[in-house]
């Protein structure tokens, strides 16, 4: 339990750093619920972590009634990662990188955070949780499923935010998907146990 708690904190820190120091400066989206939360930040000024928390409520209600182990295994990850996303939003920008390089680094950090949590049978909820449900049923790698869901989100975000956002976000989700896949490779689909 202690190890899982430390992984949630460390993974959430990686998410918060990756998003706020590498993605937000260039209005880059991740996919899934995080991507929708970032879109809400760019378009309307919402706090991304808080938006993620609100957007996750329907997913967690389904998990509560149909997949109770998923609910328990992901609630802490979602709450703590949302907190770190908003907490690291307060940090000043420390350095300037080319947008594409920043998108890759941000994607790798986010993918590491998600992948580490999935390795220890927890997640940030959201589409990670939906991807894990589907993976349990189909045995398709969870990183690949996250990539597909993320692609849908960034296509919509690219239309609403900008073409550059679409291009940079594509780089990011490729980095997130690859990193998450590497972290979860050969992982048994027994997330809910």
pLDDT value at residue 128: 65
pLDDT value at residue 193: 42
| CB neighbour list of residue 18: distance below 8 Å, 6 or more residues apart | 105, 106, 107, 108, 109, 110, 113
Give the residues of the chain that fall short of pLDDT 50: 190-193
Eight-state DSSP code of residue 18: I
The predicted model scores a pTM of 0.86
In tens, the pLDDT along 160-191 reads 989 999 999 999 988 988 998 898 887 655 44
Task: Answer whether 81's CB lies under 8 Å from 33's CB.
Answer: no
Residue ranges of the domains in the chain? Answer: 2-184
Cα 150 to Cα 129: distance, rounded to the nearest angstrom: 13
């Amino acid at each position: 339990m202690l190890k899982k708690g430390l992984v949630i904190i460390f993974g959430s820190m990686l998410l918060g750093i990756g998003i706020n120091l590498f993605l937000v400066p260039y209005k880059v989206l991740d996919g899934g619920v995080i991507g929708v939360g970032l879109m809400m930040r760019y378009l309307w000024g919402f706090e991304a972590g808080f938006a993620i928390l609100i957007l996750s409520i329907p997913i967690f209600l389904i998990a509560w009634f149909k997949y109770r182990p998923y609910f328990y295994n992901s609630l802490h990850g979602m709450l703590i990662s949302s907190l770190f996303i908003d907490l690291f939003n307060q940090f000043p920008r420390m350095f300037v990188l080319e947008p594409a390089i920043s998108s890759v680094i941000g994607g790798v950090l986010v993918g590491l955070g998600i992948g580490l949590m999935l390795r220890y049978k927890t997640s940030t909820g959201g589409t990670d949780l939906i991807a894990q449900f589907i993976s349990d049923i189909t045995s398709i790698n969870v990183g690949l499923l996250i990539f597909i869901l993320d692609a849908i989100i960034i296509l919509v975000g690219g239309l609403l935010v900008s073409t550059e956002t679409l291009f940079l976000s594509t780089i990011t989700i490729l980095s997130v998907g690859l990193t998450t896949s590497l972290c979860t490779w050969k992982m048994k689909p027994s997330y809910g146990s």
